[in-house]
Structure 1
Amino acid sequence: MLGEVRRDDAVLAPESSNPDITIAIIEQSQALRVPAVFGTALWVGYGGLMSYGPDYYAQGVQAAAPVAKILRGARPQDVSVEGAEKIDLAVNLKTAELLGLSVPRKILFRASARWRRAHPWARDRASCAALRRALCRSSARCPGRRCSR
């Protein structure tokens, strides 16, 4: 998947609804010793170097406010459209150490999340499989009871 990546490159991973792809990107980027950057902090906890993107929970809470206005009688055209108010920066210091990178202090001070522990599958490979099952079952494409995950 990342066969043409050079040592001085970095991978900006796309958002994927398939955790197998994202986990493969993390595993291959670590094997090639190339940083992987994501748009969601979830994958930083699983070994990505860093992420910068919206907090989806906070975005859902924020999206509820205009919906509530409309439900209370406001006309939809009178309700303003808003962008994400909360953007998270997350850094995995363990991954930075494994890649031989130092994280500047400015980044550490701005980071809303920092991981200093080993990746879940380094301790317990089953936690990775559990994540895959949970994400699959929350997907509309999951085959349900016949799911092999």
Structure 2
Amino acid sequence: MMHHSPSLNGFLSRNRWKIIFGVTATSIIVTLTLNPLAEVKQKVISTAPWVGAGILVSEIMFIGGLAMMASAVGMRVGNPFRLKTSLAEICKRANRDLLFKAGFWINTVGAIGTAVVISIGVFLNLPPESYGILSFAVADLALTVAIRKAMLDGLKETSASVA
């Protein structure tokens, strides 16, 4: 495993979104420079329906799982599309309730599914120089893992305090 100096880690942490935008923009520019626009456009159009459907299913799972988790910890669900703003509170209240666990795993599959569907769409249909576009999917996946780790830690703390 490669270890980075604290200053490099600090730089990467402070500038991660700038780096992601830079990699994505560079990838798009190189892709459009090396490939005919009509060809790239046609590949994107032919991929869009199944990638869009995959993202829709993933987002429904993400929100549905989050709603289940919120219900399990006694929070009012209300508008499910606003639940993302309550994620930190839901994590703090994590419990071992079966509804919470089921919601957690449905939400996790939904969160991972979006990154996976986009990645498959790019890998199968776009040229290698376009793969920099996936920096957003990778960042989303990293955030997903970090959030799920926090939730699992919350579950462990809840279990330890109950035992």
TM-score range, shorter chain: under 0.3
TM-score (ref. length: structure 2): 0.24
Write 1 or 2 for the structure with the bigger share of strand: 1
Write 1 or 2 for the structure with the bigger share of helix: 2
More contact order relative to length (CA 8 Å, sep ≥ 6) = 2
TM-score (ref. length: structure 1): 0.25
